[in-house]
Structure 1
């Protein structure tokens, strides 16, 4: 590996000093949280765990019952909409059950929901309550806490959490989570600002910082920087990242190229994006669904729907599965352009591939079909939607929408509702 210049080494030392003193930014005052039980000391949990293990041996159904209890607790937390209650329930459950702490999804949902309420104080209370478990937990658990602060747009808290990690958890994985936290915050320049002194001009200095800390940057480290620079139109800095990867013998992967594709498309450089895809097809790494989705997005943005459809065909031909992003880009543009046959084909692909898209996307196709006097086809899409667990109150014929105007329609399809018996009959009576 090439030796860093004296100037770069000096910048890295200053950067390390700045990073080591990073403290969380003050948060706006929020309503006080409801009191929550403090986490129990880790050693005290051992007898309970041993007792539970003994009980499982004595009672064959004990493990099954514990799983049912955990599932019930998770369901309660997933459904809770009161921020303070959510935090209290979460802390109690995570304190009582190591298996709860192994569930990544419940952490993601809880932080996302609290963030949507604007309750960064609640996010901090929830994640801070997990820190007593760090010493006995895995590296993955530590990285998760750092990353979740980024999802809540609290990167300075992520930096402070990283600094406070037990030494055994200060790994490349945790540092990558910190980089991702700054990128996820939606303002990559915050990373520069957090690490900046006179003479430090770019976030590229985090790579020498990692090396000074005894960490070897990996592909994820560089991909985080590539995403940040391309998302902020800093192509010159991104090119320096590619050179750093080459100098350190780090092989770019598909995600590295997808970051560049995203930047090219965002800047309207669609022909350059096409050339990059072709180079990937020829020399590798092979494009994936995300790669093709970026190109589809670029063509749709320019109104070149025929070329977007061709890219979709190439995606399928190259054995990449179209996903939610593919259809949620293509279908609205097909509908807007009056290409209802193409939109209809996509809907049938959505159902056959069991791909979950927004209810409003399907409703848009149904409404357009009815407006074009293609009622039978619209009816078919509604019925297929119901059979695929899209709620009848979110996907219906326009006549039924008019009927229900006085009732507030819930079109959020995140919480799937069971098929409502009798709905098909009502639909048939309205469209006969």
Structure 2
């Protein structure tokens, strides 16, 4: 009798293992079939794209090229991107520098810098002139592909090799690369270099540096660059002010940031959603929710549309403070507009509503989520205990 339980345990354990193994195998097979199906659909997109490319009108559709490459890059189908872009070289458009620049830029945005470089190198063979414009496109492709360490190498070596003279756009791109790398002081040195070479910095130059220094917590250095910009009669624009606002908030100068909004308005520069988000985040971080809510209302009153940054800043704080009405309002906006936010943000609100016995409101949010693609099957009511 004592061996019977052991035999039964062995039988059921074996059955359970086989069932689990079968389930895992089925899951793997289903996943593989899904991947193959998706790849098959994308290959059809590629074939249709190549066929449509025979039309000059189609080749002039920049948006279609951008969206198709973006879709393929998102699916990591880089060979398919190469397939459609290399096919473009057989058309007479390739002798136009603008068309070659498009291919270089598309490869860069897909993270395929070596292919972008190859297009640039092939341009003479394709009877396509190379100027500072295509060189700048190559530099930009290098930045977009996040090959920041290669940008200076290209900038220093390639122009002389191919007899191209760099311009302000070239310098601005290199400065951007240094800022992206965190080499802010080196980027600032490029400002001196471009002036020594007879070029004048513009708003792009200064905005790139301001964004880099303010975002990296170097507020006092950012202020020096701000003064330098004004001394050179480069007028700050909305991007300049937004960088400074973020710098002030980052440096816990929230009252100064509020005053800067007034300065902007007095100078005819209309704050945008990025401006308001800086203040909303600042007040949320300081635990001053009422002020954050006031600026949210100002954002709305002045015709701005909230974005995901607005909601990510506000919703957790509203949940902490138990502001149910505004939580429901903002969560409904997020779901209706299908903003790309972590579903856990909305789930937290649902959980809070259930905890506070607001079951009906929680159910309405979950049902609304089920009707929207981004949140479908992800939101759920907490299990009853």
TM-score (norm 1): 0.63
Question: 304-313 or 213-222, which moves further after superposition?
Answer: 304-313
Q: Which has the higher contact order (CA 8 A, sep 6+)?
A: 1
Show the 5 A alignment for 1:290-329.
290-329=239-278
The answer as to 2:123 corresponding to 1:176 is no
The alpha-carbon deviation at position 157 of structure 1 amounts to 0.9
Residue of structure 1 aligned with 2:159, choices 198, 204, 210: 210
- Paired with 1:273 and 1:327, the residues of 2 have a C-alpha distance of 20
Residue of structure 2 aligned with 1:262, choices 211, 224, 236: 211
Alignment correspondent of 2:117: 159
- Paired with 1:182 and 1:254, the residues of 2 have a C-alpha distance of 22
| 3-state secondary structure, aligned to 1:130 | helix
The alpha-carbon deviation at position 409 of structure 1 amounts to 7.4
Post-superposition Cα deviations, 1:40-86, rounded to whole Å, max 9, x if no partner, equal xxxxxxxxxxxxxxxxxxxxxxxxxxxxxxxxxxxxxxxxxx53343
The alpha-carbon deviation at position 237 of structure 1 amounts to 3.8
The answer as to 2:43 corresponding to 1:84 is yes
- Paired with 1:295 and 1:278, the residues of 2 have a C-alpha distance of 12
The answer as to 2:295 corresponding to 1:337 is no
**What CA RMSD, in Å, does the superposition of the two structures yield over aligned residues?**
3.9
- Paired with 2:229 and 2:205, the residues of 1 have a C-alpha distance of 11
The alpha-carbon deviation at position 245 of structure 1 amounts to 1.5
Asked whether the 8 Å contact 1:393–1:411 carries over to 2, the reply is no
Residue of structure 2 aligned with 1:106, choices 46, 64, 68: 64
| 3-state secondary structure, aligned to 1:118 | coil
Aligned residues: 324
More helix per residue: 1 or 2?
Answer: 2
- Structure 1's unaligned 5+ residue stretches are 1-29, 36-81, 196-202, 414-432
- Paired with 2:72 and 2:305, the residues of 1 have a C-alpha distance of 24
Structure number with greater Rg is: 2
Distance 1:282 1:316, change over 3 A: farther
Asked whether the 8 Å contact 1:142–1:169 carries over to 2, the reply is no
The alpha-carbon deviation at position 253 of structure 1 amounts to 0.5
Post-superposition Cα deviations, 1:336-372, rounded to whole Å, max 9, x if no partner, equal 4333344334434444555444347337636644764
Post-superposition Cα deviations, 1:257-276, rounded to whole Å, max 9, x if no partner, equal 12222332244211111222
Residue of structure 2 aligned with 1:390, choices 313, 317, 337: 337
Residue of structure 1 aligned with 2:79, choices 121, 129, 132: 121
Residue of structure 2 aligned with 1:186, choices 143, 146, 168: 146
Distance 1:301 1:217, change over 3 A: same
Post-superposition Cα deviations, 1:393-421, rounded to whole Å, max 9, x if no partner, equal 999985545545486575859xxxxxxxx
| 3-state secondary structure, aligned to 2:227 | helix
The answer as to 2:283 corresponding to 1:283 is no
Asked whether the 8 Å contact 1:270–1:299 carries over to 2, the reply is yes
- Paired with 2:60 and 2:216, the residues of 1 have a C-alpha distance of 41
The alpha-carbon deviation at position 167 of structure 1 amounts to 4.1
Distance 1:392 1:119, change over 3 A: closer
| 3-state secondary structure, aligned to 1:112 | helix
Alignment correspondent of 1:46: none
Alignment correspondent of 2:27: none
Asked whether the 8 Å contact 1:359–1:390 carries over to 2, the reply is no
- Structure 2's unaligned 5+ residue stretches are 1-34, 354-360, 376-385
Distance 1:31 1:247, change over 3 A: farther
Asked whether the 8 Å contact 2:110–2:145 carries over to 1, the reply is yes
TM-score (norm 2): 0.69
Distance 1:237 1:278, change over 3 A: closer
Residue of structure 2 aligned with 1:95, choices 51, 54, 64: 54
Distance 1:349 1:390, change over 3 A: farther
